[in-house]
Copies of this chain bind each other. A is one copy, B any other.
Amino acid sequence: MQEKLTSSLEDYLEVIYNYLDKNNKVRAIDISRELCVSRASVSEALKRLADRELINYGRYDVISLTPKGTEQALDVINKHNTLQYFFEEIMGLEHSISAQTACKIEHIISGEVLERFAALKDFHKAHPEYTEKFKEYYREK
């Protein structure tokens, strides 16, 4: 029932969730600053998110996530975290590069692929010695 969002809308949703989580409220301008887009662009995006009933929102109104919106935001955030772990802890890339890369890939991969990344994370936690070998290998090059 939940139709696929564009990458852009997923980004807005993600920022809204995270910002609410930290500060208990979000304004359009906060989102605008987080995503480095104009206030006008945020205004449009909020309208589209409200159309899809992912946020509660009206003119000059407080922004909140609907249950559906929360669910989808958490989905994206979950993907993000799993990917970030992969790039940072397993591939050994810098934090900021890992974050940037996760941010792009999170909108692209299917649930099945995500699952595999999640399994790799579990594996790494259970048996760090195997994946650590790769980091050693890479460092020595």
Residues of A participating in the B interface, judged by any CB pair closer than 8 Å = 87, 91-93, 97, 101, 104-105, 108-110, 112-113, 116-117, 119-120, 122-123, 126-127, 130-131, 133-134, 137-138, 141
Contact = CB atoms under 8 A, between A and B. Distances in A.
Contact of A109 (B101, B120, B123): B101
21 contacts: A87-B113, A91-B120, A93-B112, A93-B113, A93-B116, A97-B110, A97-B112, A97-B113, A101-B109, A101-B110, A104-B108, A105-B105, A105-B108, A108-B108, A119-B134, A119-B138, A120-B138, A123-B133, A123-B134, A126-B137, A130-B130
Nearest to A137: B123
Contacts of A122: 137
Nearest to A87: B113
A138 to B, nearest CB: 5
B133 A116 contact: no
A2 to B, nearest CB: 20
B113 A137 contact: no
A101 B123 contact: no
Given A119-B141, A120-B138, A130-B130, 5 more contacts: A91-B116, A93-B113, A101-B113, A123-B134, A130-B133
